[in-house]
Amino acid sequence: MRNALGSVDTVLLLGGRSEIGLAIVERLVRRGARRVVLAARGASAPVEVLERLGAEVHVLDFDAARPETHAALIEEAAATVGDLDVVIPAFGVLGSQAVYDADPVAAACDVAVNFGGHVSIGLAAARRLREQGHGTLVVLSSVAGVRVRKANFVYGSAKAGLDGFAQGLADALHGSGARVVVVRPGFVIGRMTRGMTPAPMSVTAAEVADGVVEALDTRKVTVWVPARLRLAFAVMRLLPRPIWRRLPR
């Protein structure tokens, strides 16, 4: 439950080593969040920064590729810190289209994490938030899923599925007191994209985190980071496929 000042009190980060996820959590702790659960494979997550900021930090084991464990993980987190004010699934695999072309099994495994894992944890979290009667699920989508490009169409198609799932889940939760925020960042400069050439209108994890916190404050349902990407993709959606196909990789 939010505290007396209206600030978020408890946060669950799924993907406890995520740069974007940790940047969001750090901002929420600075603004008053007191209890944080970092869920990561092997229960290994960097807790030092959050502890220095004064948060009570708990670390749980979480494997995005094992959906049969996800419902229990959500319940364990709630049993540890109480009602969950903000849940942030921040896990995924960027992968390489060239690798996927050569190894369809690898493509299927990564899609199972990037889409299936989010569906499983999202539904489990939504059930908990609905029972509580409050709370926000932050879904980290991507502009890669708004219109899928040939350069990364396996990754983009998973993000397209995730974006659609998040919108449908938001509608399903309407009136329950719980809600979903869909975040659509552009190319994020960071550990996951190291060595890649940044795309136009690239952003940092810090900028994405700032957009998420603003959405939590203003109750926005969709966040584009940077905001001008919304207009850019309104145009890109209208491009004829022969032109879209020829865009730089």
155 noted as active-site residue: yes
Q: DSSP secondary structure string, 1-13? A: ---TTS---EEEE
Which residues on neighbouring strands pair with residue 203, listed in sequence order?
188
The dihedral over CA atoms of 118, 120, 123, 127, expressed in degrees to the nearest 10, equals -130
Cα–Cα–Cα angle for 141, 143, 149, nearest 5°?
A: 120
Length of the chain, please? 249
pLDDT tens profile 195-210: 777 778 889 999 999 9
Task: Say what the pLDDT of residue 192 is.
Answer: 74
Number of helices and strands (H, E) in the chain? 10, 9
Coil, helix or strand at residue 58: strand
Q: Per residue in 24-81, pLDDT tens?
A: 999 999 999 999 999 999 988 888 888 888 899 999 999 999 999 999 999 999 999 9
**62, 100, 155, 165: the active-site residue:** 155
- The packing angle between helices 153-173 and 104-111, to 10°, is 20
User: Going from the N-terminus, what domains does the chain have, and what CATH number goes with each?
Assistant: 10-245 (3.40.50.720)
